[in-house]
C-alpha cells in the first residue's frame, strides 16, 4: 500500500487525472458510451514510439551520437551549441522527454569534464527550452502533438506549416542566446565507445520499427499491424524495453479521456468551456498549461473547440513558463537536483526567467498571426 502511495506521489498529473475522472463518474455513471472515450489510435502510437525510443536508449545509440558530435567541438560556444541544439533537433523525432533523458545527463558529465560546472544551470535550462520548442515542429515531437494530430485529422503538411514560423523564431532566439557565449578554446577528451555488433543489428531493427511508426502517424500503416510488429519485435530483441515504457503517461491519457468524455455529456460544462475557449484558444491553452501542464490541457480543451491549429499553437507555447507547464521539464530538474542539490533554487529562478523571455516573442507572433 505504501509503495502505491509513494508511486502516486511521484506521478502528480496521473493522480490528478484519475481523481478528476472518478469525480466525473459521479456525475455520469459508467455506461456503454465509456467504451468510446479512449482514443486507442493515440495510445497505441504513444506506446510503440516509447518502446522504440527505449530500444535505442538501451543500446546507447543516442549517447554514441552525442559523443560523435562533441568530438568536433573546440570552444565553449560550440560545446553549448551542440548540447542545446542536439535537444532542439532530436526532439523533433525522438520526443522532448527522450531528448532530455538522453542529453541532459550527458551535458552534466561533459560540462564537468570541461571544467565548466558554473555553466550547468543555464545550459540545462536552455536544453529544456530547446527540447520543448523543437518538439513542437512535428506530429511525433511530443504527446500533445500526437493527440491533436489524430484528433483534428491534420495532414502532415498543414501541421508543419502551422508550427514552422514558431520553430524558426525559436531557433533564432536560441542562436541569439549562443551568440553571447564565450569563444574560449576548449579541449575535451571523449572516451568513444562503439556500438557492438549486436547493437548494430538492434539499431537497424529499431530504425525499421521507427519508420513503421512514422508510417502509422501519416496513416499509411494500419495501427493494429504497427502494434503487433513493434510488440513482437521488441519482445524478441530485448524484453527489458517494456520496463522502460512510460505507462504512467498512457494511464494519464486514459484518465483525461474519461474526464473529457464525461464533461462532454454535461450540458452546463459544455456551455461554459465553449464560451471560455472559443476565440481564445491560444491564451486559454497557455494559461491552462501553466497549471495542469500542456498535455492535459490539450486533452481537456480539444473537446470544446474546432480551432485545432490555434489549440496546437497554444499548448506548445504553453510548455514555456512554470516547471510543470511541460512535464518533460521535470526530467531536467530531477537531474540537476541530483547533481547539484544546492542549486535547485537557482535553477528554478533561471528556468522561470528564461522561459518567460522565450515565451514573449512567440506569444507576440501568435497574437499577431490572428490579425
pLDDT tens by residue, 158-208 = 999 999 999 999 999 999 999 887 777 766 665 555 555 457 889 899 999
Return the minimum-mean-pLDDT range out of 65-74, 132-141, 348-357.
65-74
Mean pLDDT, the chain, rounded, equals 86
Q: pLDDT band for 265, please (50, 70, 90 cuts).
A: confident
Q: pLDDT band for 76, please (50, 70, 90 cuts).
A: confident
The CA distance from 316 to 136, in Å, is 6
pLDDT tens by residue, 272-306 = 878 888 889 999 999 989 987 888 889 889 888 88
Q: pLDDT band for 216, please (50, 70, 90 cuts).
A: confident
Is the pLDDT at 241 greater than 50? The verdict is yes
Looking at residue 371, its pLDDT comes to 43
Looking at residue 188, its pLDDT comes to 63
Q: pLDDT band for 8, please (50, 70, 90 cuts).
A: low
Q: pLDDT band for 69, please (50, 70, 90 cuts).
A: low
Is the pLDDT at 262 greater than 90? The verdict is no
Is the pLDDT at 130 greater than 90? The verdict is yes
Q: What is the pTM of this model?
A: 0.77
Percentage, residues of the chain above pLDDT 70? 94
Q: pLDDT band for 85, please (50, 70, 90 cuts).
A: very high
Amino acid at each position: 500500500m505504501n509503495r502505491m502511495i509513494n508511486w502516486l506521489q511521484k506521478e502528480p498529473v496521473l493522480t490528478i487525472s484519475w481523481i478528476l475522472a472518478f469525480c466525473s463518474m459521479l456525475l455520469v455513471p459508467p455506461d456503454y458510451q465509456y467504451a468510446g472515450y479512449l482514443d486507442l489510435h493515440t495510445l497505441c502510437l504513444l506506446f510503440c514510439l516509447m518502446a522504440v525510443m527505449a530500444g535505442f536508449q538501451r543500446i546507447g545509440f543516442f549517447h554514441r551520437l552525442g559523443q560523435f558530435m562533441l568530438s568536433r567541438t573546440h570552444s565553449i560556444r560550440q560545446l553549448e551549441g551542440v548540447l542545446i541544439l542536439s535537444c532542439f533537433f532530436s526532439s523533433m523525432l525522438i520526443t522532448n522527454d527522450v531528448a532530455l533523458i538522453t542529453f541532459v545527463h550527458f551535458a552534466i558529465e561533459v560540462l564537468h569534464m570541461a571544467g565548466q560546472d558554473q555553466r550547468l544551470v543555464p545550459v540545462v535550462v536552455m536544453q529544456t527550452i530547446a527540447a520543448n520548442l523543437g518538439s513542437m515542429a512535428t506530429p511525433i515531437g511530443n504527446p500533445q502533438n500526437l493527440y491533436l494530430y489524430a484528433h483534428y485529422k491534420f495532414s502532415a503538411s498543414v501541421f508543419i506549416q502551422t508550427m514552422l514560423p514558431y520553430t524558426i523564431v525559436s531557433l533564432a532566439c536560441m542562436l541569439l542566446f549562443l551568440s553571447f557565449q564565450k569563444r574560449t578554446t576548449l579541449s575535451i577528451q571523449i572516451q568513444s565507445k562503439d556500438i557492438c555488433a549486436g547493437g548494430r543489428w538492434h539499431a537497424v531493427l529499431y530504425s525499421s520499427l521507427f519508420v513503421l511508426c512514422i508510417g502509422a502517424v501519416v496513416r499509411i500503416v494500419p495501427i493494429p499491424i504497427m502494434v503487433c510488429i513493434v510488440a513482437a519485435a521488441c519482445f524478441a530483441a530485448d524484453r527489458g524495453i517494456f520496463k522502460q515504457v512510460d505507462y504512467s503517461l498512457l494511464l494519464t491519457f486514459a484518465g483525461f479521456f474519461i474526464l473529457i468524455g464525461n464533461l462532454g455529456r454535461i450540458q452546463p460544462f459544455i456551455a461554459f468551456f465553449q464560451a471560455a475557449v472559443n476565440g481564445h484558444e491560444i491564451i486559454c491553452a497557455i494559461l491552462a498549461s501553466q497549471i495542469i501542464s500542456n498535455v492535459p490541457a490539450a486533452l481537456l480543451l480539444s473537446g470544446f473547440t474546432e480551432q485545432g491549429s490555434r489549440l496546437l499553437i497554444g499548448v506548445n507555447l504553453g510548455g514555456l513558463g512554470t516547471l510543470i507547464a511541460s512535464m518533460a521539464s521535470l526530467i531536467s530538474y530531477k537531474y540537476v537536483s541530483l547533481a547539484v542539490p544546492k542549486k535547485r533554487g537557482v535553477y528554478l529562478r533561471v528556468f522561470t526567467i528564461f522561459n518567460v523571455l522565450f515565451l514573449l516573442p512567440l506569444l507576440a507572433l501568435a497574437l499577431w498571426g490572428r490579425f
